[in-house]
């Protein structure tokens, strides 16, 4: 079995310079760095990509949330689509070379995205998380249901800690996506090493 993936997602709160510095420290243990910056302009995202490159993050390890135009203009080959984004089908028809991941919240959405040619799915939130207060988590059962119905990799997100990440992999996830677990850690390198050890 392939080693489970670890993906780290920017939180839209820290400067992209700071995010890039953390990314540089943990780069050997992370498979994908998402730029998920809903409030930033295309130009700011472009600067963020340059900052990541300056800190030793290859374009191949970057993924741009929603902004397909920025990804193409900056030669990033991977995008993450949200519910309000273009559909996977639209993106694949216009840019067949782009690697397309999509955020989904149900089995129906997952199957539809796979039928539209998506390469990967991001599913959550799995456990209770401070970023989604009051929202019912979808749990390991929800993850298992999706993983068993699609053939593309499913990355789990939401409330994932070093203590529960092995359960997530056992439920069928191909990897985990992290925000606060890494970005809010006192020592991001120690945190990612802990996740990497347990997820394997």
- The whole domain housing 193 covers 5-199
CA–CA dist 152, 129 (Å, integer): 25
**Residue 134: what pLDDT?**
63
CATH number, domain with residue 138: 3.20.20.70
**Residue 88: what pLDDT?**
98
For 133-180, the pLDDT digits (tens) are 667 788 999 999 999 999 999 999 999 999 999 999 999 999 999 999
- State the pTM of this model: 0.95
**Residue 135: what pLDDT?**
72
**Residue 1: what pLDDT?**
58
**Residue 16: what pLDDT?**
97
CA–CA dist 112, 83 (Å, integer): 12
What pLDDT tens digit does each residue of the chain (200 aa) get?
589 999 999 999 999 999 999 999 999 999 999 999 999 999 999 999 999 999 999 999 999 999 999 999 999 999 999 999 999 999 999 999 999 999 999 999 999 999 999 999 999 999 976 665 667 788 999 999 999 999 999 999 999 999 999 999 999 999 999 999 999 999 999 999 999 999 98
Beta bridge partners of 81: 102
What's the total number of domains in the chain?
1
* Burial classification of residue 86, based on how many CB atoms lie within 10 Å of its CB (0-12 exposed, 13-18 middle, 19 or more buried): middle
Residues 6+ apart with CB under 8 A from 73: 42, 46
Active site (catalytic) residues: 125
The SS3 of residue 172 is coil
**Residue 128: what pLDDT?**
79
């Amino acid at each position: 079995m392939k080693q489970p993936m670890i993906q780290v997602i920017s939180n839209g709160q820290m400067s992209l310079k700071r995010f890039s510095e953390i990314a540089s420290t943990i780069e050997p243990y992370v498979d994908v760095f998402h730029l998920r910056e809903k409030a930033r302009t295309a130009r700011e995202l472009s600067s963020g990509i340059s900052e990541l490159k300056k800190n030793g993050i290859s374009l191949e390890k970057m993924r741009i949330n929603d902004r397909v135009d920025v990804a193409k203009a900056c030669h990033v080959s991977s995008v993450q689509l949200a519910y309000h984004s273009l559909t996977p089908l639209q993106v694949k028809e216009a840019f067949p070379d782009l690697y397309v991941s999509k955020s989904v919240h149900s089995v129906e959405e997952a199957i539809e995205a796979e039928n539209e040619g998506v390469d990967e799915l991001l599913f959550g939130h799995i456990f209770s998380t401070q970023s989604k207060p009051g929202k019912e988590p979808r749990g390991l059962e929800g993850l298992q249901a999706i993983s068993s119905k699609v053939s593309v990799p499913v990355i789990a997100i939401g409330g994932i800690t070093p203590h529960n990440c092995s359960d997530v992999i056992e439920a069928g996830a191909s990897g985990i996506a992290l925000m606060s677990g890494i970005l809010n850690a006192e020592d991001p390198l120690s945190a990612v090493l802990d996740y990497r050890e347990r997820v394997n």
